[in-house]
Amino acid sequence: MSLKYRTPESIFPRLSVLDLVHVRSGQSTADAVAATSSLAYHADRLGYMRYWIAEHHNLASAASTSPSILVGVIAAATRRIRVGSGGVLLPNHAPLALAEQFALLEAAYPGRVDLGVGRAAGGDALISTALGRGCGGLDDLLQLINPAGAQVTDADTTRTLRATPKAASVPPVWLLGASEGSARTAAQWGLPYVFGHHLGVGGTAAALEAYRSAFRPSPVLAKPCTLLPVRASVAETFEEARRAVLPWLLVMLGLLTGREQAPMRTIEEAEEVSLTQDEREVINRMAKNYIIGDPDQAHDEITRLADTYRVDEVMIHPIAGAHAGDDPSVARGQEQTLRLLAESGVR
């Protein structure tokens, strides 16, 4: 049965998707990319506003190493949904390279591409060294992504440097951050802002207030625009949703404790893992920061967050795991989370 397209306006609050291209037991990288394409296909038809890829490196459980390439893959697999980075990390890239990549993506899929950028390195010293680190910053990127280009002086000669020869449209730049400092930077540049609420670092209300109070209208944005990411596992019952989130919790526990990394376990494999009492307490604390529940519970909590923080949009990072024997080219738990949330949000 084919799925009918819905518009973002048919969902309340307005919802989007964040993806890390999860890699689980029994999956290859090719399988994980196929599962992400399938997930984006469903998000497109369910009425989600945008689908973003987060940049991560050297993780056994995530294949989102190159957002710009994945944006092209996802855009080709979808029809309506906006596709972008959430975010691509500026210290790892030369601003010109990023501007060129996203200018071409915008040319190929006009009006559908977002360039979300973060200013963290997103990895340890090994990753930074291996990537070679970029040079320049947000101001360089904003100049280069503009169709007029940037004026560059070299050997007393000033030339215009453009990301693409003749842009007909420009992807909007979003700034991602997890502090009041990043909020003020976004405000000063007049950019839309994403606060990393899903990271559990605290300070969401203060950062969003700092952004709104310091906001300066810009040629691209007349008033503040905010997006709040959350992690969610949604199923027909709370018990099923809580069971499905255990594989992700074990990934996060491994990152926190420095354990040797492994692909994300299946639900059945995760339930066989022996944990200490301290580890169980850590997992339970993390779970309290997630949206876990049946469709009504999840929708009510997302609506409460949207109202509390007065955000324009909530971005769902679906973290429900898969069962043993599931097709490796699909992400059943993540697809269910998006479907149930979309259905619960119909006005």
List, in sequence order, every beta strand (DSSP E) within 191-344: 193-195, 226-234, 291-293, 313-318
Q: Give the C-alpha separation, 19 to 51, whole Å.
A: 7
| CATH code of the domain in which 313 resides | 3.20.20.30
Strand partners, 153: 158
Q: How confident is the model at residue 156 (pLDDT cuts 50, 70, 90)?
A: confident
100: phi then psi, degrees, rounded to nearest 5: -65, -45
Token pair of 137 as six digits:
């910053």
Judge whether residue 216 has pLDDT over 60. Answer: yes
Token pair of 111 as six digits:
């009006």
Domain count, the chain: 1
Mean pLDDT taken over the chain: 92
Q: Give the C-alpha separation, 51 to 54, whole Å.
A: 10
Domain that holds residue 215: 8-344
pLDDT digits (tens, 9 = 90+) for 31-68: 999 999 999 999 999 999 999 999 999 899 999 999 99
User: Is 116 among the domain residues?
Assistant: yes
From residue 312, how far is each of 15, 84, 252 by CA, in Å? 9, 17, 28
Please state, as a whole number, how many other Cβ atoms lie within 10 Å of the Cβ of residue 77.
18
User: Is 199 among the domain residues?
Assistant: yes
pLDDT digits (tens, 9 = 90+) for 267-293: 999 999 999 999 999 999 999 999 999
Token pair of 115 as six digits:
């360039």
Q: Give the C-alpha separation, 113 to 278, whole Å.
A: 43
User: Is 3 among the domain residues?
Assistant: no
User: Is 67 among the domain residues?
Assistant: yes
User: Is 167 among the domain residues?
Assistant: yes
Q: What is the pTM of this model?
A: 0.93
User: Is 1 among the domain residues?
Assistant: no
pLDDT digits (tens, 9 = 90+) for 198-210: 998 899 999 999 9
> Residue length, the chain?
347
User: Is 245 among the domain residues?
Assistant: yes
DSSP conformation letters of 134-158: ----HHHHHHHHSTT-EEEEETTEE
User: Is 40 among the domain residues?
Assistant: yes
Q: Give the C-alpha separation, 302 to 231, whole Å.
A: 10
